[in-house]
Amino acid sequence: MTEVAETKRNKVARRQVDKFEVRRTELAVATLHTLADLGYARTSLREIAQKSEFSHGVLHYYFADKQDLITRAVRQYEAVCVTRYDGVIAEATSALELRDGFIDEFFASMRADAPLHRLWYDLRNQSLFEESFRADVEEIDRRREEMIWQVIGRCAELAQVRPATSSGIAYAMIDGIFQRGLRLALAGADEEIERLQDELRRVLVLLVDEPGSAG
């Protein structure tokens, strides 16, 4: 009987933990746009509560502080973002088709979700100073690098060549372009973004090292 009772208590405890984690996820997703609008420096649990439907008490119960909430929110957003090119990769039948599809999705996401991408870069910059969420940021960054490398790897495979550089360098180059494009998108500099699209196409050709495609 003691073992049965202990098993029941363990099951109840696990259900409670699961419900708690589910609620944390729901709150993180629901407050994501508020976080994106405020940014790290201007965000506190009280500020988020004032600009959302949730009370300060509720947020404080589920999250230790703003770092806890922001990290959770960005993790949830990135979990979806790192799959954004899966369809393009799966459907492309040539390196050219993959590059074009990637570029279209790259800039569409940049424009549509600019405040959310801004929040990610804000958090990544803050991790240079806030050690408490550095590990989370590094994990998200690793997944983003893998996402880009899947594109480069498949593009090289379709072109029947090998990638011209490492995954880290490829990610640094493309992420740098994305961050610059994001600043331009937030500033409404559409003509500059169009030029940046051409630059990205040339960079992709260099990263894949496809013979006879530099034009």
Q: What is the CATH number of the domain that holds 16?
A: 1.10.357.10
CA distances from 54 to 45, 78, 152 (A): 10, 23, 42
Asked, for residue 213, whether it belongs to a domain, the answer is no
CA distances from 36 to 143, 144, 145 (A): 21, 19, 22
DSSP state letter for 210: -
Q: Whole-number mean pLDDT of the chain?
A: 87
The domain in which residue 102 lies consists of 2-208
Q: How many domains, the chain?
A: 1
Q: What is the pLDDT of residues 32-50, one digit of tens each?
A: 888 888 888 888 888 888 8
What pTM does this model have? 0.82
Q: What is the pLDDT of residues 79-128, one digit of tens each?
A: 888 899 999 999 999 999 999 999 999 999 999 999 999 999 998 999 99
Structure tokens at 169: 């360098």
Calpha distance 102→92 (Å, rounded): 10
Calpha distance 2→7 (Å, rounded): 9
Name 104's Cβ contacts closer than 8 Å, sequence gap at least 6.
none
Looking at residue 79, what is its pLDDT? Answer: 85
Looking at residue 31, what is its pLDDT? Answer: 87
Looking at residue 12, what is its pLDDT? Answer: 43
